[in-house]
Structure 1
Amino acid sequence: MVYETKVGTFDISEENVINFKNGIPGFEHLKKFAVISLAETEPIKWLVSLEDKNIGLPIVDPWIAFSNYSINLNQSVLDELGNPKRENVLVFCVISLKEPVTINLVAPIVINLEKGIGMQVILEGTNYSVREPIKASD
């Protein structure tokens, strides 16, 4: 199906639609999203709403900027995600592109690729920040 999104118009097959049962914080009313890769913004990808063409969040693999990043998902989160196998899970973090560029390491986007289920998880008991500065590598 063809969708108009914040970053362009794309033909997105149903198997690439990610369903967020509870939406994501700030956009609880939106349930259908897709991850879009654009060559000109790699490694930044876009989590775009398929229901509101004005909503798109820049996301990135957190291990690109923080190789020691670690998350533990509790059983209720795993249940909500359909108990995915590790190899079927993608993790992204939302970044802010305003200077200074920051990444939200406290609330990763976790996606079960096999079932097309996603959720934004709030990590508890962590020293991570919602606005962790990303420093350019030398």
Structure 2
Amino acid sequence: MSMPKQSQQPASGSLEVAPGREPVEIVFPFGLVGCPEWRRFAFVVPGEVPGLAVLQSLDDEDVAFVLAEVEDLVPGFLSTLNPDDLGLLHALGLGRDPSVRLYCTLSVHADDSVTANLLGPLVLDFGRGCGSQVVLSGSPWSTRHPVAPAGK
């Protein structure tokens, strides 16, 4: 799996969008955890890497995240969560509205290993154009869940 390294995140004008998949603006009313000023993003599905998306900041062109749908990485993920976490995700529309999806950020490390932040996933509501980053309280998952070992 070849993805941009964190220090080489794509600038907003450099992404080739998949045909028929125009960027969607997503607003995080409270920003992201630790970065409340990062509120407005473009969700882009690049044509060259199936199954991945890019969340490009519209507030700071140097900020972008590679995303994957959580269930694609960890089938049955929701069944591992405690009732409080499930209730929070349900309150945000997950499972009730098909336009609400759960994503995680991916990180590529110096040794080329890839990890996923499953402790702080992103709930994206494409119908309303908004999102929230949640921190799961009783989760068995981490911020560095291995996705691909070094060199893969």
TM-score relative to the length of structure 2: 0.71
2:45 corresponding residue in structure 1: 37
1:68-101 Cα distance to aligned partner (Å, 9 max, x none): 21151428x83xx5x5742120111001122221
SS of residue in 2 equivalent to 1:134: strand
Distance 2:138 2:122 in 1: 18
Question: 2:67 pairs with 59, 63, 66, which one?
Answer: 59
2:6 corresponding residue in structure 1: none
Question: 1:8 pairs with 9, 13, 30, which one?
Answer: 13
- Contact 2:119–2:143 under 8 Å retained in 1: yes
2:108 corresponding residue in structure 1: 97
SS of residue in 1 equivalent to 2:77: coil
2:4 corresponding residue in structure 1: none
SS of residue in 1 equivalent to 2:48: helix
1:29-62 Cα distance to aligned partner (Å, 9 max, x none): 1211121111222222111111111110011011
Distance 2:140 2:29 in 1: 28
SS of residue in 1 equivalent to 2:62: coil
Question: 2:36 pairs with 28, 38, 52, which one?
Answer: 28
Change (3 A) 1:41 1:31: same
SS of residue in 2 equivalent to 1:74: helix
The unaligned stretches of length 5 or more in structure 2 are 1-9
1:112 corresponding residue in structure 2: 125
Distance 1:16 1:73 in 2: 27
SS of residue in 1 equivalent to 2:72: helix
Residue identity opposite 1:90 in structure 2: R
Offset of residue 7 of structure 1: 4.5
Q: How many residues align?
A: 127
The unaligned stretches of length 5 or more in structure 1 are none
- Contact 2:24–2:44 under 8 Å retained in 1: no
| Aligned alpha-carbon RMSD (Å) | 2.7
2:98 corresponding residue in structure 1: 87
2:5 corresponding residue in structure 1: none
